[in-house]
Amino acid sequence: MYSLNGKKQMNSPVLVLNATYEPINVTTVRRALVLIFKGTARPEELTDEVVRSARHSFPVPSVIRLVEYIRIPYERRELSRRNVMLRDGYTCQYCGRKFNPSDLTIDHVIPRARGGRTSWDNVVTCCRRCNARKGDRTPEEVGMKLLKHPRALSWRVGHQILTHLGRHQEAWRKYLII
């Protein structure tokens, strides 16, 4: 067993499941322990690490489950550069390569100069090279194809983001569709 003593470890990610075992959020070790101590959640998966106090040591969870079901309403997310990049997985929607956020642009599939709106179904992440190639034309005019049709970021897409975050968390795999 390893002891957690730094701020970085207490801010490590913990998957939060609804009472029905569906993933609904990612929180920190610190917040997960508070939810467990309050009786709001129960640990489902534990790590080899512990948090120590003066008299006790507590196992660190990697997955917690809420005791009571929380209804998650279908909701659309705000249209923003960050949310478009999250939706598209920081991947250019034309060439399929992953990039750092600073190396990506937001492209209007139907250019604004041709009446294209700034809406969820008309914007995608695009690398600078593909954006320069496309210019103010449609993908069809340039012979480019979108990886997937853009759509609004909803809770369901938020679930896909959780899945993406958990790709490297072995204990999360059985709770996520990967």
Task: Read off the CATH number of the domain in which 105 is found.
Answer: 1.10.30.50
Give the E-state strand segments of 29-148 in sequence order: 41-52, 57-66, 104-108, 123-127
Q: What is the pLDDT of residues 57-98, one digit of tens each?
A: 999 999 999 999 988 776 667 888 988 988 898 999 999 999
pTM of the full structure: 0.54
Q: Is residue 31 part of a domain?
A: yes
Q: Is residue 40 part of a domain?
A: yes
Backbone angles phi, psi at 59, to 5 degrees: -70, 145
* Stretch 136-151: mean pLDDT: 94
The whole-angstrom separation of Cα 25 and Cα 56 is: 28
What is the number of domains present in the chain?
A: 2
What is residue 131's three-state secondary structure?
helix
Q: Is residue 111 part of a domain?
A: yes
Backbone angles phi, psi at 64, to 5 degrees: -125, 155
Determine what percent of the chain is predicted with pLDDT higher than 70. Answer: 83
**Token pair in block for residue 56:** 């006790």
Q: What is the pLDDT of residues 157-174, one digit of tens each?
A: 456 556 666 666 888 878
What is residue 96's three-state secondary structure?
coil
Q: Are 66 and 6 in the same domain? A: yes
Q: Is residue 149 part of a domain?
A: no
Q: Is residue 94 part of a domain?
A: yes
